[in-house]
Amino acid sequence: MSTITVRSGKGDKDRTTLLPQQLKPQLQEQVSLVDKLHRRDLEDGFGEVYLPYALARRESRIIKHVKCHTFRHSFATRLLQQGSDIRTIQKLLGHSDVATTEIYTHVLGRGARACPALSGMGVISPVDC
């Protein structure tokens, strides 16, 4: 099973979520590239910077106002559509109460579609299905 741990997320909680298998090679390549660049920066006397959130957002030229909740909602909805167990989704989203997770079920008006390959948690990333 491939997972990603997000440290200090919403509510300052650590959360575990799925790492899509098809993204692993690109992610490994990106980590290797960034590591090389960071080592070079350190050798040149650089490598640390503080960029306030508001400035980072302005400099990135993000126009559409999308919040993390939009992605969390889409992720949970797709897992439910694929037939994933709501308790597993509750764990992945870091909800302490399943009632919070059940809010996502209101968008489902049709039967769930099962995905062929499952991870060790009984679900796979929507990207892989």
pLDDT in tens, 68-106: 777 788 888 888 888 888 888 888 888 888 888 887 766
Domain assignment of residue 51, yes or no: no
Tell me, what's the pLDDT at 110? 42
Name the residue range of residue 90's domain.
Answer: 1-6+82-121
Distances in Å between the Cα of 110 and the Cα atoms of 41, 80, 106 are 52, 11, 11
Residue 42 domain flag = no
pLDDT tens profile 11-66? 888 888 888 889 999 999 999 999 998 889 888 887 666 655 655 555 555 566 66
Number of domains in the chain: 1
* Strand (E) or helix (H) holding 17: strand 15-18
* Domain assignment of residue 12, yes or no: no
Query: Domain for residue 50, yes or no?
Result: no
pLDDT given at position 30? 93
Instruction: Establish if 86 belongs to a structural domain.
Output: yes
pTM over 0.75, yes/no: no
Q: Is 27 within a domain?
A: no
